[in-house]
Amino acid sequence: MPSETIVPTHTPKTLDAWVKLLDGVQLPVPADSHERVKTAIGDSRRSLRDIAELMQDSPALVLSVMREANRHTHESISAPAESLEIALNRLGLKRAEELLQRLPTLPTEQIPPTLRHLQMISQHACQQASGLFASRLARLWQEIHWGSLLFFAPLWPLALTHPKLLEEWELRVVHKGEPAPRVERELFGVRLLSLCQTLAEFWRLPAWVTQGYHLLQGERRSLVKVMHIARDHSSPLRQQQRLDDDPPLSRWLNQPANTVLLANGLALAAQQAWNCPHILRWQQLTSLYLQVALEDVQHMVHQQAAISARKHAGPGLFHPAEMLIWPWDAHYVPRGMRAPAAPTPEALGQWRAHCAELLKEPSPFTNAMHLTGKAFDAFKACGMRRVLMLTPEKEHSLLRVHHQAGLASDISSLTVAVNQSKLLQRLLTQSAQLRLTPENYAQFAALLPASLRTLFRGDNLLLRSLASNGRVVMLILADQGGGPFSDVSVQAFGKTAQCIERALTAFGNRSA
């Protein structure tokens, strides 16, 4: 049985390339869920509904079965399977078992956290849809249930192949409020909504999934109109009069398929805070859709979040229900915006030992790579996660990669033209250090070459030029993942740079 999945590392920039890459990804299934479903399929007493209910514990397994069933559906059946039970019936238990054998499995704790977190948001959305809409639209509960669970499914393989890009999208768009079109073009080369819709259609996911993406892209005017009406929640009568005056808009609002979009909007917005404008808009829209007071909708949404947390929360994952017991004005702070903890006493002890090694005279190093390797150990011990060492050519016109850690492995051939950056020119005139923060990032980042900005995404960065015998011989860029720095780490970085300068001078004198 396969236990690993191959994760591509390149980043496409076109819609077709993304679809080709993501369609080829096999999502890992939790090993315990895989074993339970395998046992159930082999048990003749189990019905398709029993097996489908067991599969719900693993969204990745649900998606795999739905895709497989819709991919091999008989030509006479044009509509995609709207539920997992229908998909199993079309696929047959034998082929379902064969599919199960092909899927990679991992212990839950070994599945990448970005993927687990996104799948948990989908499960939270499914719970919101069940609690808010399924009882009111009982005949359509299957469409509501599976559509809500699979709405974000096109993003699941992206969370496996490019988790850092999704994390950066969340940080910049959701928490920092940067324009989504610009950020998505920069990170992915395409709009995420277009990618999700194209992939959902390619996989033939339930119709309400693709309808939701079509609404977000092609029917935004109607959505904005309805949201304006929904804001007037203090006067239900006035809301109803405005809808009565526009029958096409009223029919548009009351489409059952909108329940899938509402549930996922609520689940995603709750990741930021329970009192932020994003979730208030979705709560107001849900209130208008259900013709229920906003306060009652908020109570139901909080209740369903708590139920979801009991069912779906896992170790190392943040569930928004946790914020219901926090102060009301508290917001979830993503990792990219948190200052990392200061280095432990043990790590600082290692850092001092590495620095002492650098300061030994005569120099104990056999070559420059030996020396910079020790320097990297010191940077790592003081908390730096990404480090790039660049060395200038004799004329200081070009910088080449000397050593790197925490960055893409294919940057060894990277060259940076110094004459294109006044900031680099300044740093190469004498030993100097510059710290980029959110307050000065826009000012200084604009002076950096695009290749370096792309490598060090985030708005916190340290730059240090190192001199030996009166000449700059190296430029170092380092950060702690792009988020805020620990003050202790910044101080240790500066002292490490001083130690490297002395070590380079001692090494050069010994060679002479």
Q: Last residue of some domain: 62, 77, 110?
A: 110
Pair 263, 392 in one domain: no
Q: Tell me if 5 is assigned to some domain.
A: no
Pair 64, 200 in one domain: no
What pLDDT is stored for residue 308 in this prediction? 96
CA nearest neighbour of 433 among 500, 481, 504: 500
Tokens of 498: 């001083």
Q: What mean pLDDT value characterizes the chain?
A: 89
Q: What's the CATH code of the domain at 507?
A: 3.30.450.40
Structural domain containing residue 33? 29-110
Pair 368, 230 in one domain: no
Pair 164, 193 in one domain: yes
Q: How many domains does the chain have?
A: 3
Position 7 confidence tier, pLDDT thresholds 50, 70, 90: very low
* Distance separating alpha carbons of residues 121 and 126, to the nearest angstrom: 9
Pair 224, 353 in one domain: no
Check pLDDT > 80 for residue 5. no
Position 334 confidence tier, pLDDT thresholds 50, 70, 90: low
The answer to whether 369 and 377 have CB atoms below 8 angstroms apart is no
What pLDDT is stored for residue 492 in this prediction? 93
* Distance separating alpha carbons of residues 77 and 217, to the nearest angstrom: 28
Q: Report which of residues 361 and 74 the model is more confident about.
A: 361
* Distance separating alpha carbons of residues 231 and 214, to the nearest angstrom: 23
Q: Last residue of some domain: 336, 356, 380?
A: 336
* Distance separating alpha carbons of residues 138 and 142, to the nearest angstrom: 9
What pLDDT is stored for residue 269 in this prediction? 92
The answer to whether 25 and 157 have CB atoms below 8 angstroms apart is yes
Encode pLDDT of 352-398 as tens digits: 999 999 998 888 888 888 888 888 899 989 999 899 999 998 777 89
Q: Tell me if 4 is assigned to some domain.
A: no
Q: What is the DSSP string of 7-19?
A: -------SHHHHH
The answer to whether 21 and 161 have CB atoms below 8 angstroms apart is yes
What pLDDT is stored for residue 336 in this prediction? 60
What pLDDT is stored for residue 73 in this prediction? 61
Q: Tell me if 10 is assigned to some domain.
A: no
Dihedral of the CA atoms 112, 113, 116, 119 (nearest 10)?
-110
* Distance separating alpha carbons of residues 386 and 480, to the nearest angstrom: 6
Encode pLDDT of 17-62 as tens digits: 999 999 999 999 999 999 999 999 988 888 888 899 899 889 999 9
Is residue 409 helix, strand or coil?
Answer: helix
In this structure, which amino acid lies at residue 165?
A: L
Pair 295, 392 in one domain: no
The angle subtended at Cα 440 by Cα 434 and Cα 446, nearest 5°, is 85
Check pLDDT > 90 for residue 158. yes
Q: Tell me if 20 is assigned to some domain.
A: no
What pLDDT is stored for residue 1 in this prediction? 42
